[in-house]
Chains A and B, each alone.
Chain A
């Protein structure tokens, strides 16, 4: 059940949510901004992919079938900066994530984080 879209870009972002429709929207939103977006609705596939090729940023849903965002984040490579995107208003996780975004998604706020990461990476490579 992989739903992956990739584009050549300087910054790679992974989005994991068991809601396929949201994966499509995330990809459409940020690929248009020149970001390399990979989306997964199956957390296990996402973990495998991240270990194969770690993304620059990781956005994770919290409530997913058979697991949750914390468990998935812990299974991911530790070096990847992780952000939580959830519709669950009670989730308070500070251990595994740099920041929490609530659903419905604030695209501008997420874009700001992505933009900041892109700049950091550009500075590091230049």
Chain B
């Protein structure tokens, strides 16, 4: 669009130059014309008129003079006006010489006047042929007359033929002509200088025009070939579309041919047009290009989604001018994206089903064993109805198996609590740990494991207290189970307060967990405990709970003793906000 403007501007300038050149040419022509006519008339008034008055054959002189003038006028139209300046000068000189010679001959034979007037001729030619010729002629004339004045005695003509008044008049006329020549030459210098500048300017403009045309062609090539939709709206023309490229035409479909020159409200539904206009105004106001990620354009063949860059331009006064919209049709991209999303959702669903299948299989295995015990022992009760000694053992086994099933189901219930309403409140983590130590005291005594806590921080966390207790009970029970058969058996809970986090570590006297086992620690139903003692759900449930609390649990493999670390976000102010 700028290229177009530039082209128009250059065209305007070029036209102006042409007009100026034309005016300058016309002026020059007039000057030449008047000079040539004057040159023809001047001798008439300076010398022929006296001759007419004094001559014995005035009619012949008059005819000669009139012939001379007529010849000059014809010469003007035939040679001067078409610009054949040298030819004009030669013809003019010939006309004057011939007519004067003829008039002199008719008026009484060869006369010294011819010698007097002959030198005038070059000056006419000089006028007509340009500034150099004018100066040269004028100089030649002056020199000649001074020479004549000085050496008239040497001339082969009788002195009385060279009339003093004629000579004086001739000198005056020659100086007058010289003055005219001087003024004309000055004028020509000025006009030629202006014309030269104009020619240079025109040349430069033409070059610029060529470059602009090339540039315009270049831009048009780009605009036509880039796979982007380009619209230009001119807000100096009520926001009418002033340019759309090929891709835009493809994008607009059937509307494409009627877009340029129309406003948005002429093309699109009123609501969309009004919204787009508001957006344009906001972008103009923001004075910076704006990116719109996805927008539906209502077109004849349906809505087309696209993403756009709106680039505002302003005139010299800073007023909104053009809104360049560069858009990308993202129909295909969205279709691909949608297909990918569907595929991803399908994969997620498959993964979920696989996970569910995995979990179901795990649950089935974990429940089938105690269920087999329940049913098997029940069968034994019936089978050995007559043996009361065995009854108690079967009943006890059934109860134990039932409890195992209950424990598993209970664990599963906790595991599925992710969507339930939680009771998140600020709690001092140290307080929760103290409560947990009470809950685990019986186990620690029974297994003769020392459980201690170094509660060095009073920092708060935002949590569901019961759930965090559940996590810590699980970790401490695991630790007790892990070390109860070791010679050195202890469990220690420590706290480390950082600027943004509160770390809680559960350390036991064990020497770490093998890498292979560590990788599966948080998987559901993974356990290293003997059958019947662990559900394999504890740590996976703990991780789920901590994830919901935006806390992270990790096994610190570099530590000398088995260490689980939970990183809680620390509350830093009474309004329950986290540290940033």
Contacts and interface: CB of A to CB of B under 8 A. Distances in A.
Interface of A: 18-19, 21-22, 24-26, 28-29, 32, 63, 65, 86-90, 102-105, 107
Given A103-B368, A104-B368, A21 B401 contact: yes
A21 B397 contact: yes
Contacts of B383: 28-29, 32
Contact of B369 (A26, A28, A87, A90): A87
Interface string B383-401: 1100000100000010011
Given A19-B373, A89-B364, A25 B380 contact: yes
Contacts of A29: 376, 379-380, 383
Pick the most buried of B380, B397, B401, B531: most chain A CB atoms within 10 A of its CB: B531
Given A18-B531, A103-B371, A88 B365 contact: yes
Contacts of B531: 18-19, 65
A118 to B, nearest CB: 19
Contacts of B78: none
Given A22-B369, A28-B380, A32-B383, A104 B375 contact: yes
Interface string B342-371: 000000000000000100110011111101
Q: Which 6 A-B pairs have the closest CB atoms?
A: A87-B368, A25-B376, A104-B372, A103-B372, A103-B368, A88-B365
A93 B340 CA distance: 37
B156 interface: no
B368 A102 contact: yes
A89 B376 contact: no
Contacts of A28: 380, 383-384, 390
B377 interface: yes
Given A18-B531, A29-B383, A88 B361 contact: yes
Contacts of A103: 368-369, 371-372
Pick the most buried of A18, A21, A63, A87: most chain B CB atoms within 10 A of its CB: A21
Contacts of B364: 87-89
Given A19-B532, A32-B383, A107-B379, A25 B365 contact: no
B379 A25 contact: yes
B574 interface: no
Nearest to B375: A104
A24 B384 CA distance: 13
A100 to B, nearest CB: 13
B158 interface: no
A22 B384 contact: no
Contacts of A107: 376, 379
Contacts of A65: 530-531
Contacts of A21: 373, 376-377, 397, 400-401
Given A87-B369, A102-B368, A103-B371, A22 B361 contact: no
Given A19-B532, A21-B401, A105 B369 contact: no
Contacts of B397: 21, 24
A90 B369 CA distance: 15
Interface of B: 357, 360-361, 364-369, 371-377, 379-380, 383-384, 390, 397, 400-401, 530-532
A109 B418 CA distance: 42
A63 to B, nearest CB: 6
A28 B361 CA distance: 29
Given A19-B369, A22-B372, A89-B364, 5 more contacts: A28-B383, A89-B360, A103-B368, A104-B372, A107-B376
A100 B39 CA distance: 135
Contact of B376 (A18, A22, A32, A86): A22
Nearest to B371: A104
27 contacts: A18-B530, A19-B373, A19-B531, A21-B401, A22-B373, A22-B376, A25-B372, A28-B380, A28-B383, A28-B390, A29-B379, A29-B380, A32-B383, A63-B365, A87-B365, A87-B368, A88-B364, A88-B368, A89-B360, A89-B361, A89-B364, A103-B369, A103-B372, A104-B375, A105-B375, A105-B376, A107-B379
B514 to A, nearest CB: 12
Nearest to B373: A21
Contacts of B371: 87, 103-104
A90 to B, nearest CB: 5
A32 B530 CA distance: 29
A29 B531 CA distance: 22
A24 B381 CA distance: 13
A66 B58 CA distance: 151
A90 B525 CA distance: 15
A18 B373 CA distance: 13
A21 B377 CA distance: 9
A5 B357 CA distance: 38
Contacts of A32: 383
B578 to A, nearest CB: 43
Contacts of A89: 360-361, 364-365, 368
B379 A90 contact: no
A103 B376 CA distance: 10
A65 B361 CA distance: 17
B400 to A, nearest CB: 8
B445 to A, nearest CB: 27
A86 B365 CA distance: 8
A79 to B, nearest CB: 28
Contacts of B384: 28
A27 to B, nearest CB: 10
A25 B532 contact: no
A24 B390 CA distance: 11
A30 to B, nearest CB: 11
Contact of B361 (A18, A26, A90, A102): A90
Nearest to A63: B365
A78 B357 CA distance: 33
